[in-house]
Amino acid sequence: MNCIIGVDIGTTSTKTIAFDLGGQVIAKADAKYPILYPEPTYCEQDPEEILRAVVSTLRRVTDELKKGSHSPLGVSFSGAMHSLIAMDEQGKPLTNSIIWADTRSKEYATRIKHSPEGHTIYLRTGTPIHPMTPLCKLAWLRDHSPDVFRRAHKFISIKEYVFRKLFNQYVVDYSIASATGLFDIRHLRWCEPALAAAGITAERLSELVPPTHVVSDLADGLAEALGLEDRIPFVVGASDGCLAQLSANAIRPGRASLTIGTSGAVRVAASVPAQDAHERVFSYVLTEGTYVVGGPINSGGVVFRWFRDQFAAPETEEAARTGTDPYDLLIQKATVVPAGADGLIFLPYLLGERAPIWDADARGVFFGVSIGHTRAHFIRALMEGIVFGLYSVGLAVEENTAKIDVLYAGGGFARSDFWLQIVADVFNKPVRVAESVESSALGAAAMGLLALGVLKEMGQVEQMLPASREIAPDAGRHATYRKNYDLFASLYGKLKEDFAKLSELAAPAPRQ
Ligand code: ADP
């Protein structure tokens, strides 16, 4: 029987999964790798280690398939966005992969954003100008590593690196290109003013291809090493963010995907890109004529994890003793506090924030603490504050696209019905949650089936997705949350300048 392999090259691991044509998982393997922090603002990964993870997980999956009756029609890819690797003429990396979380180019981002071309670059590339983007990283590299910058023959992302090593060619799909800040999302070509700001020409970037582009001449001996047929099609695929939209079942109008994993995002699919005067949201190309419009937040599950690590010794110990999950125990405490946490409001910006405020200096605040507040109030306020952050993104997305009718939830937080209910109530919209989704790998597999003609259009991807259940909003709780949210939004406006002053004071080094 036929199947399709999706390879999801993520930040913490590569997950390789074979799905049957109905979307059922038949074999899977994953391999983790570390993030390197050579300097406080640097976040890097070793591209060779990631390539090894891709090769080894593929091999484990094909070995598994050989034991059963499935044979793969093809292999399709999902890649993390915003990474940058400088490559020399011989195809050797001159740098590590500089990943999305790296903020070394903060000053360059500010400079380009406020330059006369800044707003035009945002509108044409669809990417908010931020240190995460290869645009700003290149401008930094030009000044701080002039030798590497000069010697670099190509500047690529991690998924392009894998294709270069497997096929000896440099190809980049429209959606990964969209996340560079260098790509003209309307004309599907590199964007001249952005290239000028980065100090490069288009020859130093890969060939642009649609996500359905197929390559099939694996470098010598590789097919055998991977346990694959010689000319098996490899589909270039797309970015993890855009593919997750496909697997969240949120391609149709009125549907949004909402994720809280380590970070978070709200996204919709649209036929035209956003034109946001305030530069709050991104518009990435998924396929020609389909844009994924949305905003990412830093302050997702990582904030909850911080609370667990710093303030939840009792729950952590109880969980270890009883074999339960400390998050579940923390959430149980929060359930006894009413919606709105009795007026305790939390700004979750421990790591600065991306959408919608794009302010690296923003920090966390508990506001309105009174003598009656208990630790349970802090837990509830923290969970509500993360959702308020996403709600502010949702409002900006709606303003730039169309009304959202239903939210498709994903990420680690979706394990908690209580948290899903907060989302439904804050947004005042139904939330749908699938029992289990391997989101980006499934999105890659679906894109693979579209490329190979097994699926005829994106709407058909729905038949591969698991069933979902719905959580309804409560109008009364929404009214309470709306009052807290109004204060949440106005607080940030009042504190903005003080956050900038605060950033000049010494701060503890980030945990690694
Ligand atoms: P990643 O972004 O690395 O893929 P996940 O999607 O697994 O991560 O999400 C991890 C986050 O999900 C954790 O930081 C935590 O905040 C949240 N989380 C994990 N388990 C639970 C749970 N049982 N209930 C609520 N939230 C949870």
Which of the four pLDDT bands, split at 50, 70 and 90, describes residue 232?
A: very high
For residue 475, the model assigns a pLDDT of 98
Q: Which of 15, 262, 383, 386 to mutate to test the pocket of ligand 1 (most atoms within 8 A of CB)?
A: 262
Q: Which of 307, 327, 333 to mutate to test the pocket of ligand 1 (most atoms within 8 A of CB)?
A: 327
Q: Quick check: is 451 in a domain?
A: no
Say if residue 116 is in the same domain as residue 50: yes
How many domains does one find in the chain? 2
pTM of the model: 0.94
Which of the four pLDDT bands, split at 50, 70 and 90, describes residue 510?
A: low
Amino acid sitting at position 1: M
Amino acid sitting at position 202: A
Q: Which of 413, 438, 440 to mutate to test the pocket of ligand 1 (most atoms within 8 A of CB)?
A: 413
Burial class (CB in 10 A: 0-12, 13-18, 19+), 425: buried
Query: How far is it, in rounded angstroms, from Cα 427 to Cα 392?
Result: 10
In the chain, the percentage of residues whose pLDDT exceeds 90 is 91
Domain range spanning residue 339? 301-391+475-506
For residue range 279-302, what is the model confidence (pLDDT) as tens digits? Answer: 999 999 999 999 999 999 999 999
pLDDT at position 133 over 60? yes
For residue range 455-474, what is the model confidence (pLDDT) as tens digits? Answer: 999 989 999 998 899 999 99
pLDDT at position 262 over 90? no
- Measuring from atom 24 of ligand 1, which residue has the nearest CA? 416
Say if residue 77 is in the same domain as residue 7: yes
Instruction: Please work out whether the CB of residue 419 comes within 6 Å of at least one atom of ligand 1.
Output: yes
CATH number (domain holding residue 35): 3.30.420.40
Query: How far is it, in rounded angstroms, from Cα 154 to Cα 88?
Result: 7
- The average pLDDT across 8-20 equals 95
Can you tell me which atom of ligand 1 is nearest the CA of 300? 16
Query: How far is it, in rounded angstroms, from Cα 293 to Cα 108?
Result: 24
Can you tell me which atom of ligand 1 is nearest the CA of 262? 2
CB neighbours of residue 494 within 10 Å: 8
Instruction: Please work out whether the CB of residue 13 comes within 6 Å of at least one atom of ligand 1.
Output: no
For residue 220, the model assigns a pLDDT of 85
Q: Quick check: is 258 in a domain?
A: no
In the chain, the percentage of residues whose pLDDT exceeds 70 is 98
- The average pLDDT across 161-190 equals 97
Distance 424 CA to ligand 1 centre (A): 18
- Please provide the DSSP assignment of 354-367 as one string: -TTT-BTT--EEEE
Which of the four pLDDT bands, split at 50, 70 and 90, describes residue 511?
A: low
Instruction: Please work out whether the CB of residue 405 comes within 6 Å of at least one atom of ligand 1.
Output: no
Last-in-domain residue among 205, 231, 248? 248
pLDDT at position 49 over 50? yes
Q: Quick check: is 456 in a domain?
A: no
For residue 260, the model assigns a pLDDT of 92
- Measuring from atom 26 of ligand 1, which residue has the nearest CA? 413
- The average pLDDT across 392-421 equals 96
Which of the four pLDDT bands, split at 50, 70 and 90, describes residue 221?
A: confident
Q: Quick check: is 400 in a domain?
A: no
Which token pair is 99?
Answer: 């990943």
Which of the four pLDDT bands, split at 50, 70 and 90, describes residue 165?
A: very high
Say if residue 238 is in the same domain as residue 316: no
Which of the four pLDDT bands, split at 50, 70 and 90, describes residue 322?
A: very high
Contact between residue 476 and residue 428 where contact means Cβ atoms under 8 Å apart: no
Say if residue 213 is in the same domain as residue 351: no
Which of the four pLDDT bands, split at 50, 70 and 90, describes residue 512?
A: very low
- Please provide the DSSP assignment of 6-40 as one string: EEEE-SSEEEEEEEETTS-EEEEEEEE-PPB-SST
Half-sphere exposure of 10 (CA within 13 A, CB side): 21
- The average pLDDT across 242-248 equals 92
Say if residue 92 is in the same domain as residue 182: yes
Q: Which of 304, 333, 418 to mutate to test the pocket of ligand 1 (most atoms within 8 A of CB)?
A: 304
Say if residue 205 is in the same domain as residue 310: no
- The average pLDDT across 133-150 equals 98
- The average pLDDT across 361-370 equals 97
Q: Which residues pair with 214 in a beta bridge?
A: 235
pLDDT at position 438 over 90? no
- The average pLDDT across 161-172 equals 97
Cα dist from 265 to 257, 261, 298, 410, whole Å: 8, 9, 9, 10
pLDDT at position 505 over 50? yes
Distance 309 CA to ligand 1 centre (A): 13
Say if residue 236 is in the same domain as residue 309: no
For residue 437, the model assigns a pLDDT of 66
Query: How far is it, in rounded angstroms, from Cα 378 to Cα 311?
Result: 10
Query: How far is it, in rounded angstroms, from Cα 276 to Cα 279?
Result: 5
Q: Quick check: is 40 in a domain?
A: yes
Amino acid sitting at position 198: A
Closest CA to 361 of 82, 139, 73, 103: 103
Query: How far is it, in rounded angstroms, from Cα 469 to Cα 490?
Result: 35
Can you tell me which atom of ligand 1 is nearest the CA of 325? 23
Say if residue 184 is in the same domain as residue 104: yes
Q: Quick check: is 104 in a domain?
A: yes
Q: Quick check: is 488 in a domain?
A: yes
Contact between residue 273 and residue 291 where contact means Cβ atoms under 8 Å apart: yes
Distance 97 CA to ligand 1 centre (A): 25
For residue range 178-192, what is the model confidence (pLDDT) as tens digits? Answer: 999 999 999 999 999
Say if residue 172 is in the same domain as residue 39: yes
Which of the four pLDDT bands, split at 50, 70 and 90, describes residue 40?
A: confident
Distance 258 CA to ligand 1 centre (A): 14
For residue 467, the model assigns a pLDDT of 87
Distance 262 CA to ligand 1 centre (A): 6
Say if residue 15 is in the same domain as residue 99: yes
Say if residue 194 is in the same domain as residue 83: yes
Count of positions (residues) in the chain: 512
Q: Where are the beta strands (DSSP E) in 368-411?
A: 406-410
pLDDT mean across residues, the chain: 95
Q: Quick check: is 20 in a domain?
A: yes
Distance 245 CA to ligand 1 centre (A): 19
Secondary structure (3-state) at 101: coil
Distance 416 CA to ligand 1 centre (A): 9
Say if residue 240 is in the same domain as residue 153: yes
pLDDT at position 507 over 80? no
Which token pair is 121?
Answer: 């670059």
Query: How far is it, in rounded angstroms, from Cα 9 to Cα 176?
Result: 12
Distance 324 CA to ligand 1 centre (A): 15
Can you tell me which atom of ligand 1 is nearest the CA of 410? 6
- The average pLDDT across 310-314 equals 97
Last-in-domain residue among 248, 264, 287? 248
Can you tell me which atom of ligand 1 is nearest the CA of 10? 4
